[in-house]
């Protein structure tokens, strides 16, 4: 999937403008030396920040340096890990401490590839450690990142497929290449954890909602995609582009369902009823059908075949209590429209 550079720039600037480093206080951020970063990243594997904090504070109080951790018994390390779960992390942490303390003489690796040789450290953790401790431009790609990127850019590649993993990693690396790595990685993870959550994301207060593909398309629940066949249904829509040369009609969709609350042209089940529709909704105005445009459109769960009927009217005057609004090219940006409408406007307005 090709993503426009301007879309990447917009996404990056919006997210960094949203992020305030002190908004989510974490003890390892106050003292970001490599040992604390490493311990925190191992603990954060498959565990939420709020759960990790009390365990982290107790752990580093007992084992303040890597040499202290290496000199302890595995049993004691597991005791201080008790309640955090996924105990293989603690065992690997203990093994790794011995490698660093004894084989590397207490000197922590600095580059990503060297970290990958440390027990318990995979690509995500290596990227996180090197970016937070050394500000290396290594993008983290975890569940939060998959979710944010897939929803914002509308990426349908399964996140658990080889193709999908490569696509997301490439995009994440492209984004981080022009910003401070530590700030960016923290920003996107915080955003995924607090705003773009798996369930009940806070879309109404999201600073990215006007440009977010999933928000505009009503596909929040469908993204990110995992490796399973997406059952798509076919959907045909007839849109009426009614205008008088300058102004045109828009209506707002109901808040429920697909494209909830977004604006679009009026729709009609059968094009054979255009005359009746115009007489009812645009009275006292002659009209002619100027152009018919067909546009295919894909959503996560729908194949859409849209037919746009351009209807030129003598003048537009809304009935009292009309469900429609009058828009023009100048004020169009004040109305939120979905991507299918944007596609048509690009064709019609050039």
What was the pLDDT predicted at 242? 93
User: Is 264 a catalytic site residue?
Assistant: no
Q: pLDDT at residue 87 above 80? A: no
What was the pLDDT predicted at 316? 85
What was the pLDDT predicted at 350? 63
What was the pLDDT predicted at 1? 62
Q: pLDDT at residue 195 above 80? A: yes
User: With contact defined as beta carbons under 8 Å apart, do 339 and 297 qualify?
Assistant: yes
Start-end of H helices in the chain: 5-18, 27-30, 34-43, 49-62, 66-71, 74-81, 88-98, 112-115, 123-134, 143-153, 162-176, 181-194, 213-217, 274-281, 339-349
What is the average pLDDT across 323-346?
Answer: 85
The CATH classification of domain 5-205, taken from the options 1.25.40.10, 1.10.1740.10, 3.40.50.970, 1.10.340.30: 1.10.340.30
Superfamily of chain region 233-349: Nucleoside Triphosphate Pyrophosphohydrolase (3.90.79.10)
Band of pLDDT at residue 344, cut at 50, 70 and 90: very high
What is the average pLDDT across 78-106?
Answer: 89
What percent of the chain has a predicted confidence (pLDDT) above 90?
58
Please give the structure tokens belonging to residue 157.
């590649």
What is the average pLDDT across 84-113?
Answer: 92
pLDDT, one tens digit per residue, over 151-160 is 999 999 999 8
What is the average pLDDT across 255-272?
Answer: 81
pLDDT, one tens digit per residue, over 235-262 is 999 999 999 888 999 998 876 667 766 7
Band of pLDDT at residue 112, cut at 50, 70 and 90: very high
Would you tell me the crossing angle of helices 34-43 and 49-62 to the nearest 10 degrees? 130
Q: pLDDT at residue 65 above 90? A: yes
What percent of the chain has a predicted confidence (pLDDT) above 70?
96
- Distances in whole angstroms, Cα of residue 331 to Cα of each of 247, 297, 313, 345: 10, 25, 20, 13
What is the average pLDDT across 34-63?
Answer: 94
What is the average pLDDT across 305-326?
Answer: 86
Q: pLDDT at residue 229 above 70? A: no
DSSP, residue by residue, 97-150: HHIIIIISTTPPP-SHHHHTTSTT--HHHHHHHHHHHH-------SHHHHHHHH
Q: pLDDT at residue 321 above 90? A: no
Is the pTM higher than 0.85?
no
Catalytic, out of 20, 41, 82, 178: 41
Q: pLDDT at residue 21 above 70? A: no
What is the average pLDDT across 194-204?
Answer: 92
Ranges of CATH 1.10.340.30 domains, the chain: 5-205
Mean pLDDT, all residues of the chain:
89
What is the average pLDDT across 248-277?
Answer: 84
Ranges of CATH 3.90.79.10 domains, the chain: 233-349
Q: pLDDT at residue 20 above 80? A: no
User: With contact defined as beta carbons under 8 Å apart, do 102 and 159 qualify?
Assistant: no
CA angle 85, 89, 94 (to 5 degrees): 125
């Amino acid at each position: 999937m090709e993503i426009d550079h301007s879309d990447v720039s917009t996404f990056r600037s919006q997210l960094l403008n949203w992020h305030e480093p002190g908004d989510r206080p974490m003890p390892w951020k106050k003292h970001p030396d490599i040992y604390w970063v490493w311990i925190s990243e191992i603990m954060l594997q498959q565990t939420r920040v709020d759960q990790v904090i009390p365990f982290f504070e107790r752990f580093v109080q007992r084992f303040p340096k890597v040499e202290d951790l290496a000199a302890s018994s595995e049993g004691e390390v597991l005791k201080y890990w008790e309640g955090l779960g996924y105990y293989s992390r603690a065992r690997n942490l203990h093994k790794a401490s011995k490698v660093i303390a004894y084989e590397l003489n207490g000197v922590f690796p600095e580059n990503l590839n060297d970290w990958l040789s440390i027990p318990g450290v995979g690509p995500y953790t290596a990227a996180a450690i090197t970016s937070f401790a050394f500000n290396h431009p290594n993008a983290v790609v975890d569940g939060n990142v998959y979710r944010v990127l897939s929803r914002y850019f509308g990426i349908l590649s399964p996140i658990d497929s080889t193709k999908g993993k490569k696509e997301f990693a490439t995009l994440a690396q492209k984004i981080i290449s022009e910003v401070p790595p530590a700030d960016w990685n923290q920003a996107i993870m915080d955003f995924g954890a607090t705003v773009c959550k798996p369930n009940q994301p806070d879309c109404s207060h999201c600073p990215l909602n006007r440009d977010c593909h999933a928000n505009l398309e009503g596909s929040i629940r469908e993204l990110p995609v995992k490796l399973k066949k997406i059952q798509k249904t076919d959907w045909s829509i007839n849109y009426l582009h009614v205008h008088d040369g300058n102004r045109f009609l828009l209506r707002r969709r109901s808040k429920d369902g697909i494209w909830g609350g977004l604006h679009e042209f009026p729709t009609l089940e059968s094009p054979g009823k255009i005359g009746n529709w115009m007489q009812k909704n645009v009275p006292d105005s002659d009209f002619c059908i100027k152009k018919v445009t067909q546009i295919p459109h894909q959503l996560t769960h729908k194949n859409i075949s849209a037919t746009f009927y351009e209807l030129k009217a003598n003048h537009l005057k809304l009935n009292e209590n009309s469900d429609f609004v009058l828009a023009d090219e100048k004020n169009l940006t004040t109305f939120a429209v979905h991507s299918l409408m944007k596609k048509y406007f690009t064709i019609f307005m050039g």
